[in-house]
Structures are given as C-alpha cells and as structure tokens.
Structure 1
C-alpha cells in the first residue's frame, strides 16, 4: 500500500515507563497520530517532551481536551488511573487497557507475583476494552506466557513486557483492518487482587512449609 494512502488515526496514550513508550512508538509506526499523552511517571513524560507530544497531567485535563478535540482511540498502558465513563466514552472508536495477567483469573495488581505464589505454569497478558469496572472489559487480545520453574517476578514481568508489545501490534492490526474480535469475560471465574493484599505471613519464610512453597514465595517477591 502507498504510505500516503494509509489511514491516519488520532490516539491518546495513558501510562508510564518504557512500555508506554514502546507502545506509543509502535502506534505511530502503524499510522497513529498521538495527540496527547497522560504521563504518570517521569520516564514517559520525558519521552513525550522529546517527541513533541502534548503532555496531560491528570484525568481532568484529559476530559477537557476530549471535549474540544475528540480522538479515535485511547490506549492505557501501565496506567494506574481509573477513567470515568464520561471520559473514555468520548473516544470515537474505542478505549483499551493493557493488563499484565490473564483475565478474568488474575485481575488487580501484582498479578505476576500472585501467579508465582500459586505455582502456575501457564500465564498470559491481556488487552481489553475499558469499561466502568476494574479489569472487567471485553477481551480483545490475549497472549500466552509460559512460566519456567526458575522464573522470578522480574523475569516473568520481562516476558510479559515482550508479550504486551506483540499483543498491542495484534490489537492495532485488528483495528486497522476492522477485524478485531472481542469477547466478554467469564466473570464467574474472576479473581481480584487488590493493591493492599499481602502474601500469607506477610511474606515471611515459614520453615514448616515445603521447599517448593518456600521457593515460590522467594521467586514471587524477587
């Protein structure tokens, strides 16, 4: 296809860290104009400044911007902020969030650590539509991630990082060609891990437990 004939989409990225940067760069490569970035850390904010992208400080500023300048898509990547329906519904074509776990089983925070504590051998990352719940929207892309016996929270997060980018590429491709399949989560199977939840015994190693359990605790908190 002639590059000049490619469709141009307007998008806003919300998030933090190098993952938000990688997804923003990929979106631009695939024909998206990033109209603004809601940056929740200095890493993403510094990149947005260098890329000459408008930086937004909070959800209220985002709401004001969308009132004046509607966009096609909103993408939330490593974003701790919850969007109100009156904000995400202003995206003309949709709003999507990245979650570093398989939904609906590992909703919430620190999902990789909870999976290691449960001694899972299979895992996944999920891109889903944003709705008025927390990690409850329809799933559009899910990428499998295998857990090795030696994986720690750090190494599993690195695997998820790579899967997130490939999953985002799949999401963008589906949006571009109009062949994105979304399916509702089976919320009866949902598990939710709130931010303040802590492992048993506050993460202490209990010597009345098996070596396998002690290894899982150590790797999950590493």
Structure 2
C-alpha cells in the first residue's frame, strides 16, 4: 500500500502524551487534511486532548467499540501510531497503512517499556524504530531506525526523553518524504529466536533487587527502574532477612574493600560492595505494601471462615426446622 499525503482527505493518529500532540500539530502544519485522533486513556487527565482542543481540523476521540468500522468510514490515507497502547486488528493493518513508533532498535526489545529492558540488559546502544504495523506486534517492515549511544549512568526516564525527541525528529523526516510523494523504505525485520517480548505487566526481576548480582547488574537494575517521580514500573524493592525495603535515591561509588553487604537502619542506608565498587541506597524504609497485602489476605481468609461457619450453622438450623 502506498501513501499519498498530497491527495489525502483524512489522516488518523493513535497515541497519547506530548509526543503524539507534537506530531499531530506538525501534521496540521504540513498536510491539508482532516486529522482524526484516537486515544486509549490511561487516566482521567489527557495531555493529548488538552493540547489539541483548540486546533481546527483535528477531531479527538477515545478508543472504543466499533472503532475499526469508524476508521474505515473515515478512510485515512495513513494511520500514525505514536506512544500508543491500542493493538490494531490485523484486518485493519491489511486495509490501511499504519506507521508505528517503537522505542528500541527492533527486533530487539519488542513490547512495552523497551527503554527499561535496554538498560537492564546492559545494552551498549538503544534507539528508535519507525515501522509498518502487520498482523503481529512490533514485527512489521522497518521504515527507519536511529541509534542512541548509552552513557554508563543513563536512567529510563532520561533515555525515554532522548528517544521521544529522536522519534519526533525522524517523524519530521518521514513526513517530508511523504509530502514529496516518495515511497517509504520497507526493510524486513531480522528473525531472531533469542528475542523476548516484553508485556506491560513485566518488570526487570519483578521489581526486586537481587543481592546475588554483581555491581554492574545491580546498578543497571536501579537505572532501569528509575523513572523519577513517574515511577512507571512501580517502586523497586530489596528483601533482606524477610523484610522488604524501598529507598529514595541511590549512588555508585568506589569501594576499596572486599565484597560486603551492610544495612544501617540508624542512618537509613544500605551498601552493597563488590570488586572495588559499591552501590549505596539512601532513605531506606520498610515497605508496608506486603504487610497490607498480607493483612488483606488474612481478613479475606477470616471472612471466608466466618461465612463457611455461618453456612454450616444455617444448614444445621435448617435440618432442625425440617
């Protein structure tokens, strides 16, 4: 399927956040067509909806039932998928060209939260891929890729910011090509059996820092889980002597000593040392979520027991009455 923006009457964008809003505004400036924007909301507040509410020719809606039929009626020349969590039906991808932005160098790290998995895997490079959508997830033909060299101290929130800006720059280049009537490249992805798909609910090591890791892997885990105040993957934890702890910040420091682990509850710090380096955790505090879950479980078990006893008593009374 070819894409002709110069003759397009309508376009569609699926996505969310600032990056999607910036791309829609660029489309509005470059293409004379109606733009239909769809978002699968993750919360009640939508940056995308607020950013586009005043722009003429842009129609905002939420992802819902009957969407495929609506899209086919709109008949967009192309669908752009930008920071989008909605999974397109294969039947739609066969009828309308769909271009998706993914924040890794596919085929590596398909799925969600690729920036975190890139750091946790201690990859030397990250990147951005724009690709066509096919019947599967993150497997379509590649249009463009750009590599990002990783510093040894980069965090997920910082990498995500770099990828977002890189993706926008690439989007500008792709739009320029389409507006000139050029055909986009379509390079088939390399098939690799060692590639693991990352689901939205997965976290590196299930969000738990392992004391069996070397310092390099420990530091990679801390940086992978670091989304600042956003905490997109939740709060990472350390378990020691049956108690789980969270922390406010961390640091990598030189250490002249041998392998060691120390927990200083007086100063709320933890130090993990190996091979001349240490990771220090500051603002240590006991995690109460596990206790709350345990209490909820105990309350639920108590309720079940009381209900069971009540039912038994009811059956006894029923037999007496009968």
1:87 to 92, 115, 120: 92
1:196 lines up with 2:232 in the alignment: no
2:191 is matched with which residue? Answer: 187
2-structure distance, mates of 1:162, 1:114: 19
Q: What does residue range 63-212 of structure 1 map to in structure 2 within 5 Å?
A: 63-91=68-96, 94-177=97-180, 178-188=182-192, 190-200=195-205, 202-212=206-216
Higher mean C-alpha displacement, 101-110 vs 174-183 = 174-183
2-structure distance, mates of 1:67, 1:55: 16
1-structure distance, mates of 2:208, 2:89: 38
Q: What does residue range 25-36 of structure 1 map to in structure 2 within 5 Å?
A: 25-36=25-36
TM-score, normalised by the number of residues in structure 1: 0.88
Counterpart secondary structure, 1:55: strand
After superposition, give the CA deviation of every residue in 1:78-118 in whole Å (9 maximum; x if it has no partner): 11011113334443xx2111111111111011111111011
2-structure distance, mates of 1:191, 1:26: 34
Could you tell me whether the CA contact under 8 Å between 2:128 and 2:163 is conserved in 1?
yes
2-structure distance, mates of 1:110, 1:137: 19
Shift of 1:58: 1.8
Higher mean C-alpha displacement, 184-193 vs 140-149 = 184-193
Counterpart secondary structure, 1:193: coil
Counterpart secondary structure, 2:192: helix
Shift of 1:51: 1.8
Q: Which has the higher contact order (CA 8 A, sep 6+)?
A: 1
Unaligned residue ranges in structure 1 (runs of 5+): 1-5
Higher gyration radius (CA): 2
How many residues align? The count is: 214
Could you tell me whether the CA contact under 8 Å between 1:24 and 1:34 is conserved in 2?
no
1:50 to 50, 54, 57: 54
Higher mean C-alpha displacement, 118-127 vs 52-61 = 52-61
Q: 1:69 to 1:88 in 2, by over 3 A?
A: same
Compute the RMSD of aligned alpha carbons.
Answer: 2.0
1:3 is matched with which residue? Answer: none
2-structure distance, mates of 1:19, 1:38: 14
